[in-house]
Amino acid sequence: MAEPGRAVVPALRRGPTWFLARGEPGLGRLMETVSLAQTVAAGQAPGRIRVLTSATAAPFARRACPFPVDEFDLERGGDIQQTLIDSSAVQRLLERLARQRPAALVVDGYAFLVPLLRAATGAALVVVANRHDLDNPAHSRGARLLQAALHAPADLILVGELRRDWRLGRLAGLPALLLPALVRPRAPAGAARNPVVAVLGGGSRGDHELERSTAALLGALDRAVGCGQLPSCRVFAGPLPGWAKERYPHLELGLDPALALASMAAAEVVVARAGRSTLAEILALGKRAVVVAARSDTLRGAEQAANARRAAAISPGVVVLEMARVNQIGVAYRRARELQPGRWHPGNSQLWTALEAADRRSGGWA
């Protein structure tokens, strides 16, 4: 089997490629994106690559790369803890890209844009994610398991963290791992079809609230009528502490982080916390999902609840719970199985109607 990392560059060379980078403090994400652009641009005619980044990062990008650099700012609000995404700016960006019709888009730092970009442009998408050291044994094992479990190639590819040498300002090598998404899991011929549930969460590093939440999710799923007995289901959950593995020995716990997105792609229903990137991945994959927001009396909980409601407005397959109602996961799971997942295609006339309605309720992506 060919190394999956070898397929991304030729796929991007079919036409103009636009790189979108957030340009966070420290500029690490921007440097990563610029380095990937330099790799993809090798041998291409001038003008085939464009970089879009924030106004604060654009001057640095112009010094660091030989490509045209444009500015875009999607955020409003001065306090970094309360920054919201400006939906009107998102719409202007998507309209501009729809006019330009790039062959491919590389997104780093704005994962929530993925389903919107897909709907607006129909371009091949590459998302820079899974920011880990991919040379370690766990990720090498994860790559092999992924290749064995999922179909490839896919038109939405998640790129593992790029090995880089910022002193030279260029890539040291191609990505070590590409995670194909928007794929169907392989099922052995004649195998009984049991529901696949991806439970993404954990709390082994001091996040006791998340630990309790995930334990409650597992316990409720174990009792869920819609799933039957969990030994007949495939459940991915991790990372979790040792006591959870003892309590639920029939579950596949301790999931390698490199396979979290792969488990989402393979799942019939995803149960996860309502983080912004997780919501974006659920929408991009068109998955039925139960998303659990933190307590609404906290800043994080209010942001998660607003974003989760917006995701539910976009996709009828998303069911939202707050932490206080986590014991209702069984009912929410059965409802999610009955709903149709979101469907994304260029020119979706319902897209902006859903976005505008959600904006009025939630005030934008937190």
pLDDT digit string, tens, across residues 309-358: 877 877 778 888 877 676 677 778 778 877 766 544 333 334 444 444 44
Q: Tell me which range, 16-20, 119-123, 138-142, 351-355, is most confidently predicted by mean pLDDT.
A: 16-20
CA angle 115, 120, 123 (to 5 degrees): 80
Amino acid identity of 154? A
DSSP-based three-state secondary structure for 256: coil
Domains of the chain: 13-180 (3.40.50), 196-343 (3.40.50.2000)
User: What is the average pLDDT across 39-53?
Assistant: 68
Report whether 221 contacts 234 (CB < 8 A): no
| 363 Ramachandran zone, left/alpha/beta (phi>0; psi -120 to 50) | left
Prediction pTM value = 0.52
Whole-number Å distance between alpha carbons of 150 and 127 = 18
Confidence of residue 305 (pLDDT cuts 50, 70, 90): confident
